[in-house]
Amino acid sequence: MCGIFGDITIRGKQPSIDDAQAIALRDMLTHRGPDGEGIWRHENALLAHRRLAIIDPTPLGAQPMLTPDGRYAITYNGELYNDAEIRSELKERGVQFQSSCDTETLLHAWAQWGIHTFDKLRGMYAFGVYDTKLHTLVLGRDPLGVKPLYYWTGSDEVVFASEPAPIVSHPNVPLAPNWRAVSAYCSTIRCVLGESTLFEGVHAVRPGQAVLIEFDADTPRSKTIHHWKGVAESAPDAIGMDEAADRVWSTLEASVTAHLRSDVPVCALLSGGIDSAATSAIASSHLDHLRTYCAGAATEDTGDDLHIARLVASELGTSHSEAIITRKFFTKRWPEMIAQLGMPLSTPNEVAINAVASRLRADGCLVTISGEGADELLAGYEPPMDAAAEFVRTGGMLNGVEMSGGLHQLLANAWIPPSAKSALFNEPIFAAIDNDRALIEHMESEYRACLDEVGDHAESELAAHLRFQRKVNLTGLLRRLDSSMMLASVEGRTPFADRDVAAAFESLPMSVKYASPEQPDSNGGVIAPARVRTKLALRQACAGKIPEVSINRPKASFPLPFQSWIAEHSQTLRNSPFAREAFTDAAIEIVSSDLSEHWRLGWPMCNIAMWGDRWFG
């Protein structure tokens, strides 16, 4: 796991930054790679790297790495979970390896198969590979979006990195807020809107996509390649619950096993919910003395994460530790993280994730597995699924208004709805966001794509809403995990958010994932709803394999009482120059007067204020 950076210009020109500048930009990613660094120049290309050594920590795994003939150079961030299989195939083709590092595997695979390499990769990855013969750069990102990748294209230059900060700190990259994305963040608390970021002109490579850029003309020419979208869902009667449960467990067990490959200590996050309990149980069957970790606020509630995680850890026999988050720590660490990352936080949980990552890193663990992905693949969010089911049942109605599925997803889950933006933003900013047209069009486009992908069957509309959660919500959660973990120089692995797992789970019918609140019985009446109606196949699969307390535990979205804690920042908006530029005086005063009461407004507004002051204040 690493931090990557690159600067490529058109043929005949050299990168506009010298080595000292390149090193300074690269080293803004030191938290992502404290174990080594490298830089490579060739004519019009510059690649740089910060290394977190996980597989083959010897110098043989150093980057940037070149093929023996010098044609291809790569800077890579990630892990390949089918490394052994790809290596075996390459060895049959006569490839000789110098290390056991998966960077070398990916590099030789690219030399053999080029763009078709994506079809073979199972893992989390973001990389830039430069072809010195054809003068092309390919920026690639894994199918689920576990690892981030950003880039900027100028008139004769492309700059890319693992995080936006080195890009916008480049002397040739203009620094300006993208107000459309700022407004989208206020509604979704997501820092990326499709390919757009909060910085004007800085784009994100989307999950399952690659960007091919040619440098043999007067200006860089690029095209986007889709290398993974997902699979269609089975018909409702194609598979029963027992078979689905068996498939879920066997698929998850294989994935967790693959995710444990490491040359450094591996641990697991354990919140006490079914997802982390399942991954921890499988991991503990493969690793001696597995260490598990939980973060949360100390309370007297015996049903909170900390209490339940202790019970689960005791039954699993793991060595369990905790990171206790206090009000004082939260209010201090929140702005610190924004200053260090150069980006707003998405959910308040990022503070807890970063704290637990720092704790396990201090204990000598550099890799941890986590449960992200189960909810978006197996319908784990009950209120959003119920809202989507009701929307489908009523023929596309929300609060008596007919609308598209994408608009429903936006309005049903918005922190700040588009209708409130005229009172939120100052007039020049409100004019710039154009009534949130970019946000609405993005949501509607994503939903239409999801509907096309899931197939044509009786449950396709509801399945499209779940697919939407995977493509939009999960991508944001994975960015949250990556940024919070890597800030502490820890690699977070997600066995659920995996290409093979997604393909297997998304092929299952909705009937084995989710049950609507009311189901007709044989007499035309309704039966009482089940106590738990989400992740049905996973719950059945886990019976007898993990502690019962985890199997039917309700989902807890925000384990920290941040709604009351954010009151400590009641002056943040009043004192922020960027907030005064962006938000109306009335909005600032209303929210600042009682931040805890107006937390759905206050959380995104304070994050934007802290971020804006960091760069533009």
Contact (CB, 8 A) for 369 and 494:
yes
| Average pLDDT rounded to a whole number, residues 218-241 | 85
Task: Look at residue 7 and tell me whether its pLDDT is greater than 90.
Answer: yes
> Would you say residue 430 lies in a domain?
no
> Would you say residue 411 lies in a domain?
no
Distance, in Å, from the CA atom of 418 to the CA atom of 428, rounded to the nearest integer, reads 16
> Would you say residue 577 lies in a domain?
yes
Distance, in Å, from the CA atom of 558 to the CA atom of 348, rounded to the nearest integer, reads 7
CATH of the domain at 115: 3.60.20.10
Q: Which of 192, 226, 260 lies at the terminal end of a domain, its last residue?
A: 226
Task: Look at residue 592 and tell me whether its pLDDT is greater than 90.
Answer: yes
| Average pLDDT rounded to a whole number, residues 436-446 | 97
Looking at residue 232, what is its pLDDT?
79
Same domain, residue pair 123 and 264? no
How confident is residue 231, by pLDDT bands cut at 50, 70 and 90? confident
Task: Look at residue 163 and tell me whether its pLDDT is greater than 90.
Answer: yes
Distance, in Å, from the CA atom of 65 to the CA atom of 362, rounded to the nearest integer, reads 30
| Average pLDDT rounded to a whole number, residues 303-331 | 95
Looking at residue 531, what is its pLDDT?
64
Same domain, residue pair 108 and 180? yes
The parent domain of residue 264 ranges over: 241-378+468-551
| Average pLDDT rounded to a whole number, residues 203-208 | 97
Same domain, residue pair 157 and 57? yes
How confident is residue 430, by pLDDT bands cut at 50, 70 and 90? very high
Looking at residue 304, what is its pLDDT?
87
Least confident piece of the model among 411-415, 517-521, 577-581: 517-521
How confident is residue 557, by pLDDT bands cut at 50, 70 and 90? low
> Would you say residue 132 lies in a domain?
yes
How confident is residue 528, by pLDDT bands cut at 50, 70 and 90? very low
Distance, in Å, from the CA atom of 130 to the CA atom of 213, rounded to the nearest integer, reads 10
Percent of the chain with pLDDT over 90: 90
Same domain, residue pair 36 and 108? yes
> Would you say residue 179 lies in a domain?
yes
Q: Which of 551, 572, 587 lies at the terminal end of a domain, its last residue?
A: 551
Same domain, residue pair 181 and 216? yes
Distance, in Å, from the CA atom of 590 to the CA atom of 240, rounded to the nearest integer, reads 53
Most confident of 179-188, 220-229, 457-466: 179-188
Rg (CA), the chain: 24
Same domain, residue pair 118 and 267? no
The DSSP annotation for 368-395 comes to EE--TTHHHHHT--HHHHHHHHHHHHTT
Mean pLDDT score of the chain = 94
Same domain, residue pair 617 and 522? no
Task: Look at residue 13 and tell me whether its pLDDT is greater than 90.
Answer: yes
Sheet holding 157-161, edge to edge: 36-42, 45-51, 2-9, 157-161, 150-153, 202-204, 196-197, 192-193
pLDDT digits (tens, 9 = 90+) for 332-354: 999 999 999 999 999 999 999 99
> Would you say residue 386 lies in a domain?
no
Looking at residue 133, what is its pLDDT?
96
Looking at residue 526, what is its pLDDT?
38
Looking at residue 521, what is its pLDDT?
43
Report the 3 state secondary structure along 427-460: HHHHHHHHHHHHHHHHHHHHHHHHHHHHCCCCCH
Same domain, residue pair 58 and 195? yes
Q: Which of 500, 524, 551 lies at the terminal end of a domain, its last residue?
A: 551
> Would you say residue 397 lies in a domain?
no
- 293, two tokens: 């970790």
For residue 423, what are the CA distances in angstroms to 433, 587, 600?
A: 13, 7, 15
Same domain, residue pair 269 and 363? yes
Looking at residue 558, what is its pLDDT?
66
Task: Look at residue 579 and tell me whether its pLDDT is greater than 50.
Answer: yes
Its pTM stands at: 0.96
Looking at residue 398, what is its pLDDT?
87
For residue 87, what are the CA distances in angstroms to 80, 361, 455, 586?
A: 11, 30, 35, 61
Same domain, residue pair 583 and 519? no
Contact (CB, 8 A) for 479 and 148:
yes
CATH of the domain at 477: 3.40.50.620
Q: How many domains does the chain have?
A: 3
Distance, in Å, from the CA atom of 193 to the CA atom of 581, rounded to the nearest integer, reads 22
Task: Look at residue 582 and tell me whether its pLDDT is greater than 50.
Answer: yes
Percent of the chain with pLDDT over 70: 97
How confident is residue 559, by pLDDT bands cut at 50, 70 and 90? confident
Task: Look at residue 188 and tell me whether its pLDDT is greater than 60.
Answer: yes
Looking at residue 274, what is its pLDDT?
96
Looking at residue 520, what is its pLDDT?
46
Looking at residue 303, what is its pLDDT?
77
- Least Cα distance to 260 among 473, 81, 459 occurs for 81
Instruction: Give burial (CB, 10 Å; 0-12/13-18/19+) of 417.
Output: middle
> Would you say residue 104 lies in a domain?
yes
Task: Look at residue 178 and tell me whether its pLDDT is greater than 50.
Answer: yes
Same domain, residue pair 220 and 245? no
| Average pLDDT rounded to a whole number, residues 90-114 | 97
Same domain, residue pair 476 and 610? no
Task: Look at residue 523 and tell me whether its pLDDT is greater than 60.
Answer: no
